[in-house]
Structure 1
């Protein structure tokens, strides 16, 4: 039951970590729980890189911050993800998915629903919000004591074949094991997603990490120990709602929802 409760309490860390280095013991524990994940024919297609070098972290942080600014300023972020935004508890309770935008900078609060419209984007540009968000993102990554790069072996990861699915499935299981384990270690984790949205930036990170031709960089995460009493980022959200069983579980067939 302790394991199940830990899984149900799993969350993403949007704020900063303590500056303390992550102990080697904890790093290796996370790698061992990843190693324990299932994979097709025990192929174990995942590879990981543990990153503690401050200069490497600072460079990835710079790339991440620049990517965030570009995505926000160009409206790309909102076009891709607008359908997941919720603006009230009532809307969140009805939909049971997406993110509730419940924390905004003071000048933007009166325009909460309009922030992610074209007019809102113009206002955000005038107020310098894209640069502010990019800098916030850079600081979060730069202040993380540990980054984790997740890669796949291309001999298994062939996207146009079933092995591509099997490999992504296996890596997903490995990452989920890590995500469920960090809480027991007093740690948090967050996906560094913005560079993935811009191909040249993602390639820059691959080059920085010397990714060879036979590996594919799939994701980068930031990890660290959790502090107490830290304020929220400039723009933040809550996403603890989950769909009801009847919304994602069928009984015997797809068109008979599970009750409960």
Structure 2
């Protein structure tokens, strides 16, 4: 299955909140669910999926390998643990969540372990997350650009990550935007509010439509069913060239996610 353009994320959602959010999303028609080992909600996501009675082949499940599991010895066993929690025989996409701090485990080692997981059939596709261009180049050298299904990066109107996006697109690697609404800050921006009024849309729909029209996949999360439903309408919203240019002008390299000791040297 191709990487869906629209899915839902589960970052910061735990236990019953995560279960309910995923159930709501699935009932509303979402079929792509994004989780990660470090979110500690894979079991909740697995429960929500199991109780939703949707055929596995209709779903696109993504998880991400945490830094302590990036070695050749640990990656596949950790992914098998994730599969047990998710109650599935395979995931559709597995990403390296963050590069190994200080390069303790090489990108080559982790990517080749991911390729082995793909060849074993426990993940259908592989990719990376939070990689700058230099580390993307290492990943490409290790497994080839054709084997990298996506790069998932923080990407919103205030951080448009143009160097990484341009490199990924040049290599034919699809981009997935996370934090697309900038923790909600983008929804209060005057330009976004003005465009929302112009299109009789919500600010979230405008931002998500901008990301989709830019060619990115998006995975917005919400604990509110009405927001999950409203976000889906972004797929029908069409921004014109002037709207897109106004949002492009909001870029100010404002990074919201850069954990000390974890973040690589950003571009």
Structure 2 length as normaliser, TM-score?
A: 0.23
- Say which one has the larger Rg: 1
Structure 1 length as normaliser, TM-score?
A: 0.23
Structure number with the bigger relative contact order (C-alpha 8 A, sep ≥ 6) is 1
